[in-house]
Structure 1
Amino acid sequence: MNASIEATPKQVLDTAELAALFPRGTRVYLTDVGTTPLPDFVSAASRLQELGYIPVPHVAARRLPSAAALANRMARLKGEAGVDEALVVGGGVDRPEGPFASSMDVLRTGILEAQGYRRIAVAGHPEGSPDISDEAIADALFWKQEWAADRGIEMRIVTQFGFDAQRYIRWAEDLRREGVTLPIHVGVSGPAKITTLVKYAAMCGVGASLDFLKKRASSLVTLATSYSPEGLVEPLEREAAANEQFLVKQFHVFPFGGLKKTSDWLHARGTWTSEAQPASAAF
């Protein structure tokens, strides 16, 4: 399977060797945790575009103070950096800073489609969410699927990272049975120390996967070693090869061990090659 990757604006702006890390056409998702000034965010997207990558900025609904701020943000990303894709998410804060409580609120404004954003990613939650029931999550995904189809917009689901392949497989099959047929890009942690993953998993609320990871770590010595994603990605690739209806089409990698280490792993396993355009090949 092909792969996209996550990066912070700071990593994009400060990594001198960025041009050599990914194949051209790789989707690079720009995280938004509310601390990056908009000019820096736009500059990071511009640098990705100049290097031949596809910038996919996060649009965090609950962090937006107004519809005008959303329109300005998306217009600058489009006009100054040539961005035409976005990942629209809730935003991970308890109290909205403006009128948007969910990604659906952002989509309903019509701002993204009016400004020419034709490919939009939305969040998937294989482990559920503390803020919303599983049924409500499935209903929301079905609404987004219909919204995109009505407007001729290509939509995909991008999930949080996890460690349990069978959980991903069951979740994807459950969605398909409920009528959701959007392609899924599964969140995967790149190689990293297990102690690092434990920290990020706790911060990101992937408790079930964290428990799964801990059960596989038989001792404190194991916890100090490096985690290999192969135990997750290989079963998913086998399932995709055996089941043509499987919704998982691609990996989305979180480089907790660093961009270079993650890039080396993806190249070594053949996911990325210099000739391929991995992330754009499958929506």
Structure 2
Amino acid sequence: MALLNFRKKDVPATGGNDPRVEDFLKDFSIEVMPRTAEKVEDFRAILPEGTRVYIAHIEGTPIEDMVATAARLNEDGFKVMPHFPARIIKDRATLADWIARYQGEADVRQGLLLAGGVTTPHGDFSDSMQLMETGLFDAAGFERLHVAGHPEGNRDIDIDGGRINVDAALKWKNDFQTRTDAKMAIATQFAFEAAPIIEWANGLQAAGITLPIHIGIAGPAKLQTLIKFAIACGVGPSLKVLQKRAMDVTKLLLPYEPTEVVAELAAYKAAHPDFNISHVHFFPLGGIKTNATWAQNNGGAHAQPAKAAS
């Protein structure tokens, strides 16, 4: 109840930039795929200088396309963080080859390690902990390793029909940071409601998991598009926010924007400085340019692109 009262009282009405939102959006990151990146003529015209850009590695995407996208983004001055999905990596030799390619051709020094969305592993790895245990990222001098987080659970994580204790896995990863020189953080799946996110993040902190959280936020998109992705990605309770919106014919055809959830999280962060959500990570489900424009309109001076659009 206290959280609900806080949200009603302290989140400003829409209209005009909120300095808490601007601060919350500072140094946001964004996710692309090789095929979506191809549609962007110049990332410098839409993203702030030095933005961290994750490159999602979807099953079936050739490593050559991933590395080429990384090289392009690195050349333009962005911090490149490719995905390393454990379940589509055949073996240790393949992982070593990917790391060498990324470093040799794109100077990549950071990565998001995750299990990946496929049900059956293609080879020797089934989770991100096994990737970390190879020692290959340490040996290659990776400066930053992010791991996946799921504020509303992850239906893909189970063994023999029994759910893994996801918090225990995060505790293992939290402890791993003491054994490596790499900086670590949790990058999460997107959600559409602030309250479950806040409860989850505070629960991790209470459990002694101190890794900073880069919270996943879905960028502006058509409502039907978001519902499709939310169901496919296993988004849980906050899906009802979209479903309720879909029942309102006056909003059905309007694009969804993350204004409300971001404002609520920003207000909570401003009131609780020790809150362990440190950054926003965007999933541009309605398009990279559309997401970047929303960030520019809401993020103030530090969300403006590296150079003026031509």
Q: Which category of TM-score, normalised to the shorter sequence, fits these structures?
A: over 0.9
Indicate the residue corresponding to 1:74 in structure 2. 99
Contact preservation (8 Å) 2:32, 2:56? yes
Contact preservation (8 Å) 2:193, 2:261? yes
Q: Tell me the distance in 1 between the aligned counterparts of 2:163 and 2:76.
A: 40
Contact preservation (8 Å) 2:210, 2:276? yes
State the secondary structure of the residue aligned to 2:289.
helix
Indicate the residue corresponding to 2:57 in structure 1. 32
TM-fit CA distance, 1:275: 8.1
AA in 2 matched with 1:125: H
State the secondary structure of the residue aligned to 1:261.
helix
- 1:103-142 to structure 2, matched below 5 A, reads 103-130=128-155, 131-132=157-158, 136-142=165-171
Cα deviation, 1:150-198, whole Å, max 9, x if unaligned, reads 2122100000011010000000000000000110011101111111100
TM-fit CA distance, 1:142: 1.0
Q: CA RMSD in A?
A: 1.7
Indicate the residue corresponding to 2:117 in structure 1. 92
Cα deviation, 1:83-115, whole Å, max 9, x if unaligned, reads 001000101111100110110010000011111
Cα deviation, 1:244-281, whole Å, max 9, x if unaligned, reads 220111110011111111111101112543488xxxxx
- 1:1-283 to structure 2, matched below 5 A, reads 1=24, 2=26, 3-130=28-155, 131-132=157-158, 136-270=165-299, 272-274=302-304
Larger mean CA deviation between 2-11 and 205-214 belongs to 205-214
Identity, % of aligned positions:
40
Contact preservation (8 Å) 1:13, 1:47? no
TM-fit CA distance, 1:203: 1.1
Bigger radius of gyration = 2
State the secondary structure of the residue aligned to 1:251.
strand
TM-fit CA distance, 1:223: 2.5
Q: Cα distance 1:211–1:105, how it changes in 2: closer, same or farther (>3 A)?
A: same
Q: Tell me the distance in 2 between the aligned counterparts of 1:247 and 1:15.
A: 33
Q: Tell me the distance in 1 between the aligned counterparts of 2:252 and 2:229.
A: 14
Indicate the residue corresponding to 1:279 in structure 2. none
AA in 2 matched with 1:140: A
TM-fit CA distance, 1:243: 0.7
Q: Tell me the distance in 1 between the aligned counterparts of 2:129 and 2:190.
A: 22
Q: Which runs of 5+ in 2 are unaligned?
A: 1-23
TM-fit CA distance, 1:129: 1.7
State the secondary structure of the residue aligned to 1:187.
strand
AA in 1 matched with 2:226: L
TM-fit CA distance, 1:38: 1.3
TM-fit CA distance, 1:75: 0.9
AA in 2 matched with 1:65: K
TM-fit CA distance, 1:220: 4.1
Q: TM-score, normalised by structure 2?
A: 0.85
Contact preservation (8 Å) 1:61, 1:101? yes
Q: TM-score, normalised by structure 1?
A: 0.93
Contact preservation (8 Å) 2:45, 2:305? no
State the secondary structure of the residue aligned to 1:127.
coil
